Amino acid sequence: MQETERKFLVTSDDFKTLAFTQNRIVQGYLNSHPERTVRVRIKGDKGFLTIKGKGNESGTTRFEWEKEIPITEAEQLLPLCEEGTIDKIRYEITVGKHVYEVDVFSGANEGLIIAEIELSSETESFEKPNWLGKEVTGDERYYNAYLSNHPFKNW
């Protein structure tokens, strides 16, 4: 139940033509405390409930528990969430032997594009496509829970 990932800002929309999927994601937080977040998400036609723990010192690894729930239950839980909904389109792109998830935010976070890659360990090597910019792994400002309370448009 450990997740190891790295995050990067995205410098161009070149990734869009390479995507093998794209889905709208709407999510809210029942709890956005940095040490333990509880998220309700609707991705496409599926619902999810996710609990994440505080990250390690580098911010690359943290506890994550996720379960699919009926979309009707996710729709009923969203109104109970804290103020500040995340709305984004997620593109998935294969680069080498990995899949990058690129989130193009809208609403209060419009203008922000973040790419994430999940790794099997903190030291695993991976290809960096030319549309990747500055690494923001461990910078809590780029966590969705933070963005829900401190929208990108207000930075």
Q: Please list, in sequence order, all residues whose beta carbon lies within 8 angstroms of the beta carbon of residue 13, skipping any fewer than 6 positions away.
A: 113, 131
Query: One of 29, 91, 100, 142 is an active-site residue; which one?
Result: 29
Helix (H, G, I), strand (E, B) or coil at 30: strand
Q: What per-residue confidence (pLDDT) applies to 59?
A: 85
Q: Is 29 known to be catalytic?
A: yes
CATH number of the domain to which 131 belongs: 2.40.320.10
Structural domain count, the chain: 1
- In the chain, which residues have pLDDT < 70? none
Distance of alpha carbon 122 from alpha carbon 15, whole angstroms: 24
Token pair recorded at residue 41: 């998400």
Count of C-beta atoms within a 10 Å radius of residue 144 = 22
Domain that holds residue 129: 2-154
pTM, two decimals, is: 0.94
Q: What per-residue confidence (pLDDT) applies to 2?
A: 87
